[in-house]
Each structure stands twice: as structure tokens, then as C-alpha cells.
Structure 1
């Protein structure tokens, strides 16, 4: 496989050259991370690909609305902002998660120890509150399989603790397409109790027609030490989106004729989605001599109602295909979820070097009281009509694991084994269309081993290998292929074997991470057919992913820093298979996965009170379905500019933010809907957009 930087990226060359010879905040060359080792360790000393995005990178000139603002700086990730708040971001890690039609799947999302992914692997990045984030850690490769099923990668967000004198703040932000965000915060420490309180409201008309949204987020955290040997954090968060409009995808012809256009059915049926998400978590840590006990517990609720654009004639109970009427055009569920994780971290002082054994068990459960209704009532369209679905879906996982981290002289070894189980139980209460009740259990042991050698204090090399498996989600099990009734309990999990080899270097205030990897997968889950708004899935034999990742961060003067994240990924089917669209040949590319992704940034901070940066991103073309015969979303390059100003006056701190996205006003497809049954694969990205904000904070 050849790796290259496309010629059209000539505009990036100055910044790429500067990363190796010349260029904010002082660059932290060796940040400590928890993800992977499960205990704080310098990322430079860990034998796998893991990156940390710090608070300054998350907040400096960013909007604090979508994780896509900051995750693009991590190699190996592809983050697509759908410009559709009814469907959330699309995130893939080394190809895992690229086929997701909504939300995030195939990647484990965690916030303050609380999973933002259900046991079946479906997650919501919208629950990440960027305004309170201290850092985001991203783990790729074989070591991620130690986080259980559906962990093709791990994205973990940590909120900051309340520290220092109490302070209150307010911020407002406005921008293109009617975007506004108002944000209130209070944080600090009083009587040895830290607190962080945060609330925000975001409104937007959306770039495309029929894509308006309102998002309300709240967050509260208390952290304190019950005694000298323990610490405790209580965390509450919520997300509310009422009546978020869904513009659906676009055909190629509609996108080219009018990028802001919306599918006719979206207007006819007033496609929209409402979300009410509430959760409460507890993190407890206690020290027993050298050992540490970590306990995490959480519970929450999530209510969703979504109005789809399934045509009336398909949802009619008199249809010639009664199975197609199952579910209806209105999806509604009320979810209760809870779980607990118990970990014991034990140093072995009698062993040579530094040996730490981590053992634990993770339990998670989500229970959906799920209903479906026709999306019409007589002549009225886009309203709740006759019930077509009534069931209780329960997904649960129970995963014990053990892991060893051993550093001895110039060698570092990390090995682990996790026994993952995921059980999906369906209790169908709507029997007029047949009893679809059933239970499916998936289980597998997933080992991982990584070895690193320190050639010099500034140069480390490593190899890593592991086994993983990806279970179908509830949405992927929901419909059997063809006109069959009931759940598709015949689906098997896909199983992967992953290898990685990499180098980490620290030279002249520059951090370099490079890795090559190969992933072979059996029984890949792919779309079998999409008819009448109902997508069914099948197992498709083998896939092969080979790639190269390069991450560089440099600071070679007091005022200049640069960042580069480059990914070359060749993801193909390694065997033929048949689908409703025809034969998919060996060698076809996996849809939703660009072969080349590049992010580059130059940041200038001439004084303590001002910083400014230029960002550039390139993404190669993206196939939209398995046969590779439909029009691929073309490659594109975009550039953004941002600036932040700050002033301190006694107890007051003021700041202002300016931002221009898509400086050259390019028209491009920002994301794709893989294998859409109506050939509406494309979602247009905005043209040139502006944002301006200001805020103030008072410290007591």
C-alpha cells in the first residue's frame, strides 16, 4: 500500500514544514492519560496509540457545541458533522463506526466513567458537555478491545473538578444561520468541597432548510474528600432537544442544484426528533496502602420521539407486505439505564521493575419501553396515529477483566483479557403482526498484548495485538431481511484481529507519534436492504483494513505551535458477498471511510491576552454504498480561522471569540448516509460561516 499526501494540499506545505523545524499555550509533550492503562501514565510511555486533547485546545476559539470541533486533530478518527442535530455526529475510528446511520456505534463513548454508549454499542456524542471538559482522551487499536464489545476505539471525556476561589461567568455567542448560544457557569471550591455548575442553550436555524434545533444542557459536579484516603465525585447532567428538525439526506442531483435543499417528504411529514436525557453518576476512589479501589455507579433516563418520513402507503396496515407495516413511522421509547464498574489496582512491589495488576468487572443495562405508531391519522400527515409496535427491549452486559502493566528497565509490557457478554432481550406486547419476542446472547474472550522498548529516552517503539468483537445494535437487529417478520436474531457479531506497530519520539520540543496497523474482520455487519424506511443487516464475510497514522505537535518558539494529524486508511472487502443491490466484489472499498484525512493547524500567541490560529482539513472521496457504483462524495479541502482575546481587570476576566469557517467558501459534502435506501446519501456542509462571542467571569 502506498501512502501519499495529495498534490492539492500544496497550501498545507508551509505548516507541514514548520512542524519539523520551527513552531499558544506551552506544549505539553508528555500528557498523562488514563484510557488504556486505567491508571494515570505518561502517554509517551504507553505501548499503543492514545492521544489527549487538553482544555485549552477544547475551548480556544471553539464554539463548544460539537465534539467534531476538536476530535479532527486526532489521527485515525474521521468525524463528520451531519449539520443535523436530529442524528448526532458520525464518528469512525480506523473504519469502525463508519456505517452508522445515526449517532455513534462501534466506538466506546465514556464521560466521567459513565458510558455514553448503551451495552449494544449505540452512543450519543451530544451528551458530551464541552464547556465543562478538562480533557478528552482517544484510544485506537488493539488495546481498545479491553473495553469490551463494540470498542473499535474509545473516546473518553473528563470534566474538570471545582478548584480555586469561587467564580461565576456568563457568555454569549452568535453566528451564521441564526446560531446563538448562551452559557452560564459557576465553579470553584468552598469548605474543601469543589463544585462546577453549568447551563447552556443553543439555537440554530440550520444551514439546510428544515434543520432548526434547540439544545439545552445542564451539568453539576461536586467533588470532595470524605477522609484522607478517599475522594468522591457526584455528577449530574442533562440534554434536552425538543422538536429538532430532520432534513434527511439529499440525492446527488438535489445537492448539486441546491445545497440547502431538503427532501420533499421531510416537509410533508414534518420529520423531527425530541430528546430528554437525564443521568446521575458517582465516582469513588479509596486507597488501601499502595492499592486503589475505584467504584463508579450511574443511572439515568432517556426519552425519544422521532417522526420519520415513511410514506403513508407503506405504513398502511392493508399493504401487500404486512411486515413492512411493523414499527410505524413514529418511533418512541422511554429508556432506563444503569450500571456499575468496580476496579482494583494493585502494585506488586515484590516484582522487579514496576508491576501493576488491574482487575475488575463492568456491568451495564439499558431497558427501553419502545412503541411505534403510524405517522398519519386519516388525511393528517406527520402526526401520531395507530399503534404499530409495543415491546420492551433490554440490553445488558457483564464483563470481568484482568490487566497487567509492567515496566522493567527499557521494556514496557501491557497485557489483558476481558470476557465480554452482551444479551439482547425482546418482549413483544404487540401480537397482531406476530410475536417478535426473543433473546440473543453474544459472548467472547478478547485478549490484548502490547510491548514497548525505549531505544533512547526520546525514542520509543512498540508492537500491539488484540482480538475484538462487535455485536449488532438493537436498531440493526430490529428488522429481518426481505419481508420476514420479527427481529433478525440470526445476525452474528463481527470478530476482528488487530495488529499495530508504532514509534513515539520527542525531539526539539516536538512530539511525533507514528503507527501502521492491520485489521482483519470476519462476519462484518453490512446493510442487507433498506425498504420503506426499514433497514436490515447481514454478515458479509471478511474485510481488511490497513493504514498509517502520523501525529505531530511542535513548539519551537514561545509564540508558535503547530499540529498535524494525517491518516491513510485502505479499508476493503476481502471476500465477495451478495446484497439487495447486487454482488459486492472483493476489493470494493468500505463506504463512509475516506482513504486520506489530514488536519493541520498553525497557532500564534504573540501575547498572553491574544491567540489566533488557522486550521486546514483535507478529506479524500468517500464511497456511499457497498457496490461503489453510486456517485462518491468528492474530496475536499477547507480552511478555518479563529482568534481569542482576554483581559483581566481586578476580579474580572473578559474574553472575546471570533471565528470564520470555510474561508474559501467551498461547496462540499460534509457527511454521507451510508447505503440509504432512497439514494439520498449526501449531506451538504455550510459555506463560509462566521461566529462571534464574548464572556465575562467574576472571581470572589
Structure 2
């Protein structure tokens, strides 16, 4: 049996027994897409960096079935990312999906995550897990994205990379990696250190941004049975916020912004630093122990374009958000391998504890007649959220063909708020909530032959309101939105995977029923309020093909059909029963073909289709469907220990005018975030191996 690895409870395949075990640090190549009895995709770091800007995950993850990932052209709000429709409501950051970077959650205990600290330049691989087994990760409904940084190896490598694109965009980065020994002897050390800087003027007016990012991973072999890995990450980002446009404004000039955006200088600044320590020890031939500890802090300051008259209302928290967050956690796990009645069994049990403390302040975004400056204090509170999750998973191998994987997690999420801003017009809004759920999941797999299997799985997901969703009530009421309830999702999935030559064909059909789905109630000038929508249902079909032709040709294709609808009580008196859930495309398709020999000329093209997207609950406003094409070509020199890679690319080749993403239920009618027209870029990577 494959030993249970660390740092997070991923479901990894045991190639020897063809079962799935709870695993936390997948093998260097990631999960086994064929043997894992779940809808899973693995994207390699080399693939993500090939002829690409290396700035956003949307450049490469668009090839994953079931994953809708869009660049808002707004770095103040992060990418718009949803999996099987979960997360589509988010006006900023990532919602409904658990994110991990080297075992450290990029998703906070409340379920809110961000991708700003992910360094594409040093990624080894990304595992994307969709479907019922996401229940084993706790506070999420759509799935899991796990990012693993490269482990340094011999020989030592030094790499410098630059990229320059349209709209004043550029990125410079440097990476060093290496190792002493092969990692199997006491005292062996491996390291990967990277740093990058990205700057853009932005496609739209008032959309400039810059980001500095650093990432480090140091591994030490303590003795024959144990290893220690140190992790460090830091990011500083500044971005203007262009907001959305109405349909008329988009058609007139997609690059414009409304006047109050510039009047109040809408913008955001983020500083985040975190560190982690991962300890792994083989306690015996059949037992492993792993411990992951981490801590970090995140400072966010955001200026919103809220009019003065609205900011002066009683209970209104102003137009400047000042957040200081401190978070930490520990995940401890024991894995045991044995036989029961001659049946091989793997048993993994663990305890995951995460906590976050937030100091949230709100200020007016004006002083007298000066706008876009921090004014009087309007909000001051201390929030604390924690979750404590014991979990257990088993993997049973019944002969050569049948295997059963089953697990359960008991998730407890607690929220407490202490209001330190109390006036005659703004009473005490302190409060607390605690949520509990049992989260079972199971999968039964049948191996038709060595390269073809089928599976059926079922599981329950759990999604609590985030601190941001609890922070504001609708209709300009003051106080916390403590009436918001967590959403619970039950999913059943059927899937099959078949190896075809040097490729893999995968298919999955699923149905997810959700109670108390959390949806956007309204969005005004960048601030959203939320409500529960009763019942929703998602039914989908996902097809994926990853095929290697010969040695140099590579084809990737994906198609997703997703029917996501309200079933009851979505819009109050104005019924939305049967309407599509906004922000979700019914059809997505991708095809990419590349010719990439080890050296010399290479070239590639990709096509992406997205059907129309409803922007509001009533489905009266929609972003039109679109198809965009990209092309790239380059040349790679390999001379002794030197490597030089020069490329150019054109995106949106036919200059389509389309909507890149929507702001769901935007109350001013500014639903649309336009995407750029035809744009160009060039890149250069130079590396040297110290042999």
C-alpha cells in the first residue's frame, strides 16, 4: 500500500492496490487521474508555464472540465472561479472551493479564499478534485484545488524569466532550486526559492495593478524515518477597481468606468505573509504520522465607490474597509495499513483545527469635499472564527477489480463578533453563531481492465457564510446578517475513465441538491449582501480528453454541460423557481492543440467557448455567449547547461467584443466586466544548470 502522505487530506491513488487513500502530499506527478475513483484533473507546472504569461490561473485551468474560471480584468477582486457552479456568486475572492498551497489553506476557516499568493513560476502540479469527495475537506461544496510547489533536485538550477504584453503589462521573475543528496539520507536538503513582480496599466480605465510575490520551500531529511519541510510565502498587491458597466455602457465603450469609481478612487491594497512547518514520520512498516502547522497574517484596505449620502446613513459602515486578519492551524494525521478477513485495508484518522481573528474597521471615504481619502470611523469590531474537524477514512480492496473508499468528517464552525463601535444611532451589534455537520462520503470502483474503470460515489458538502457575507444586511439595515444559514449539498456521481494509447478519456455525470444555498441578495457600488435561496439543483455532464500523439503532439479537450436552477424560495414574493442560478454557464468547451518538441520551434492554438450567463435571479439580464481563439509560437535552445525559451502569443485572435465575467445581482444594473480585445505578448526564459 502507498503510505499516507502530507500535508492535506487529498484523495490519492494507491497504484499497487488501485484504491484511494487519504493522502496529503501527492507524489511528484500529482494524483492518478485514472485510478482515483473521483472526478480529478492534474495540471503540471511545466504545462502552465509553456508559452504563457504566468500571471493568472485562468491561463491554464480553463482546460479542466467543470471548472469555470474567468479573469475579471480587475485585480482588486481576484479571479472569478466556480466549480460545478459553486462559487459563482462571489463578487471577490474564491467561494465554495477549498484552496491549498503546499498544504497551507488559501481558504480561511469561514470558506473565503484567494489566489493572489500562488506563484505559477514554481508550481510542480495542481490537483483539481470535483464532486462528492470534496466533503472530506470541510467548509466547501464545489471541490478542492491543491497547489504543490516544486521540490528542489540535483543539479542546482537558476532561472530568470520576463514577459511583456498589451496594456502596459509585464512580469519579471527569478527562481533558484537544488538539493544536496537525493533526499534519502540524513542531512539531505532540498530547496526552491522564487520571486516575481507583475505590473499592468489594465485593459480598462482605472484598472492598474502591481503585485510582488515571494515563495520558498526547504526540505530536510532528519533521519531514515522522518522529514521536515519549511514553507514561506509573502505577497504585496495594489490594484485599482474599475467596477462594472451596464449593457449600454459596454456597447458604447467597454474600457470606460462610471464616474463615481474615479471620484472615490476605488482601490485595494493587500499584504499577506505566512509560514508553515510539515513533519512526516514513518512509525513502522504499516504506520505513518504527519503533522502540519502554519500561521499567517493578511492586511487588506479597500476603498469603495459608495456615495456620500449613503455613507452618512445611520448604521452605514462607510466606504473604506480596513481588515487585519491573523490565522493559524494544525492538522495531525495517523495512517495504518493492515488486512481484515484477508482484505487489504487502509485506515486514516486525523484532527484539523483552524482559527482566524479579524479586526474589521470601516471609515468614511471622504473628508469634507475631498473624496477617496480615509475619513471618520464608522465601524469597529473584532471577529473570531474557528473550525474543529475530526475525520476518518478507510480504503478497502476486494480482489483485483473492486474497491471501496468511505470516510466521514464532523465539521464544527464557530463565529463570534464583538462590536466596539456603539453610538446612539448605531447600537451594539455583537453576536455569535455555531454550525455543525456530519459529512460522509463514499465511492465504489470497478476496474474493467488495467486501463479502464467505472465508479459511483456519493457525499455531502457543507458551506457556512463567510465573515464578509455575515457583515452586511440588506435594505441598508445595520448589524450582522446572523439570520444567514449554512448551505448543505448532497451529491451523487457516476464516472468512468479509460486509457487510450498515451491519453486518458474521462466522463462524469452528477446531481447535486442543495438546501439553503447562499446567494447574492444585491450588490451596490461594490458591496454585496446575501441571503438563503431555499433549494437548488445542479445536474451536469463532464467530458475530458488528454491525448499525446507521437512524441511532440498534445491535444487537450473538455466539455461541460451544467444545468443549475433554483427549486424554491429564491426571490421571495417574486418567484425564481425554475430559473437558472446566475453566474453559471450552461455549456463550456475547450480544445487546445500543441506541437512542442524538446528543442527548436514549437507552436499551439486553443479555442474556448462559453454559453450565455444569467446575471440576475430573474434571468432578465444575460451576458452573451462567446468563442475566443489564441495562438502561440516560440523557439527553445538547449546548449550544454543553458536553456533559452523565447515565445510570442496572440489572445482573442479575432478581436471579439465579449463579457469576461458578470457581477451577480448588481443593483445599479452594472452587471458587466468586459474582456480585452485582441492582445499580444512576448516572453523569455533563461536558465542554467550547475552540474
TM-score, normalising length: structure 2? 0.93
After superposition, the C-alpha distances for 1:171-223 in whole angstroms (9 at most, x for unaligned) are 11111000111111111113621111111101100000100001100111111
**Match for residue 474 of structure 1?**
467
CA distance 1:638–1:127, shift in 2 (3 Å): same
Q: Say which of 488, 491, 495 aligns to 2:484.
A: 491
Q: Distance in 2 between the 1:426 and 1:35 partners? A: 38
5+ residue gaps, structure 1: 1-29
| Contact 2:358-2:383 at 8 Å conserved across structures | yes
Aligned length: 661
Shift of residue 407 of structure 1?
Answer: 2.1
Matches within 5 A, 1:600-619: 600-606=591-597, 608-619=599-610
Q: Distance in 2 between the 1:672 and 1:578 partners? A: 19
Q: Distance in 1 between the 2:383 and 2:649 partners? A: 44
Structure 2 counterpart SS, 1:144: helix
Shift of residue 650 of structure 1?
Answer: 2.6
Shift of residue 67 of structure 1?
Answer: 0.8
**Match for residue 416 of structure 2?**
425
The reply on whether 1:92 has 2:87 as its aligned counterpart is no
**Match for residue 12 of structure 1?**
none
**Match for residue 397 of structure 2?**
407
The reply on whether 1:625 has 2:616 as its aligned counterpart is yes
Structure 2 counterpart SS, 1:452: strand
**Match for residue 534 of structure 2?**
541
Q: Distance in 2 between the 1:127 and 1:607 partners? A: 30
**Match for residue 248 of structure 2?**
253
Matches within 5 A, 1:188-587: 188-190=178-180, 192-242=188-238, 244-289=239-284, 290-316=286-312, 319=313, 322-323=314-315, 325=316, 327-350=317-340, 352-409=342-399, 410-432=401-423, 433-530=426-523, 534-579=527-572, 583-587=574-578
After superposition, the C-alpha distances for 1:520-552 in whole angstroms (9 at most, x for unaligned) are 111111223445754322211110110000001
The reply on whether 1:186 has 2:179 as its aligned counterpart is no
Q: Distance in 1 between the 2:557 and 2:406 partners? A: 30
Q: Distance in 2 between the 1:205 and 1:578 partners? A: 39
Shift of residue 370 of structure 1?
Answer: 1.1
Q: Distance in 2 between the 1:639 and 1:361 partners? A: 46
Shift of residue 150 of structure 1?
Answer: 2.0
**Match for residue 25 of structure 1?**
none
| Contact 1:576-1:583 at 8 Å conserved across structures | no
Structure 1 counterpart SS, 2:63: coil
Q: Distance in 1 between the 2:345 and 2:22 partners? A: 15
| Contact 1:314-1:532 at 8 Å conserved across structures | no
**Match for residue 116 of structure 1?**
106
Greater shift, 582-591 or 151-160, is seen at 582-591
Q: Distance in 2 between the 1:674 and 1:352 partners? A: 55
Q: Distance in 2 between the 1:69 and 1:222 partners? A: 28
Matches within 5 A, 1:143-158: 143-158=133-148
Structure 2 counterpart SS, 1:127: coil
Q: Distance in 2 between the 1:484 and 1:394 partners? A: 22
| Contact 1:120-1:150 at 8 Å conserved across structures | no
Relative contact order (alpha carbons < 8 A, sep ≥ 6): 1 or 2 greater?
1
The reply on whether 1:54 has 2:44 as its aligned counterpart is yes
Greater shift, 474-483 or 674-683, is seen at 474-483
Q: Distance in 1 between the 2:191 and 2:199 partners? A: 27
After superposition, the C-alpha distances for 1:284-322 in whole angstroms (9 at most, x for unaligned) are 111011211111111111101010000011112xx3xx1
Structure 2 counterpart SS, 1:345: strand
**Match for residue 185 of structure 2?**
none
**Match for residue 59 of structure 2?**
69
Structure 1 counterpart SS, 2:140: coil
**Match for residue 13 of structure 1?**
none
Structure 2 counterpart SS, 1:145: helix
**Match for residue 3 of structure 2?**
none
Structure 2 counterpart SS, 1:563: strand
After superposition, the C-alpha distances for 1:135-174 in whole angstroms (9 at most, x for unaligned) are 0000011011111122421000000111112222211111
Shift of residue 643 of structure 1?
Answer: 2.8
After superposition, the C-alpha distances for 1:364-391 in whole angstroms (9 at most, x for unaligned) are 1111111110000001001000000111
Greater shift, 431-440 or 483-492, is seen at 483-492
**Match for residue 11 of structure 2?**
none
Shift of residue 34 of structure 1?
Answer: 8.9
| Contact 1:118-1:366 at 8 Å conserved across structures | yes
Shift of residue 508 of structure 1?
Answer: 2.5
5+ residue gaps, structure 2: 1-14, 182-187
Structure 2 counterpart SS, 1:427: strand
Greater shift, 505-514 or 78-87, is seen at 505-514
Q: Distance in 2 between the 1:250 and 1:479 partners? A: 23
| Contact 1:206-1:213 at 8 Å conserved across structures | yes
Q: Distance in 2 between the 1:641 and 1:681 partners? A: 30
Greater shift, 522-531 or 407-416, is seen at 522-531
**Match for residue 26 of structure 1?**
none
Shift of residue 71 of structure 1?
Answer: 1.1
TM-score, normalising length: structure 1? 0.92
CA distance 1:120–1:564, shift in 2 (3 Å): same
Shift of residue 258 of structure 1?
Answer: 0.3
Shift of residue 125 of structure 1?
Answer: 1.2
Structure 2 counterpart SS, 1:254: helix
Shift of residue 584 of structure 1?
Answer: 3.1
Structure 2 counterpart SS, 1:333: strand
Shift of residue 33 of structure 1?
Answer: 12
Q: Distance in 2 between the 1:518 and 1:76 partners? A: 13
| Contact 1:373-1:387 at 8 Å conserved across structures | yes
CA distance 1:532–1:647, shift in 2 (3 Å): closer
| Contact 1:573-1:588 at 8 Å conserved across structures | yes
Q: Distance in 1 between the 2:504 and 2:523 partners? A: 46
CA distance 1:142–1:304, shift in 2 (3 Å): same
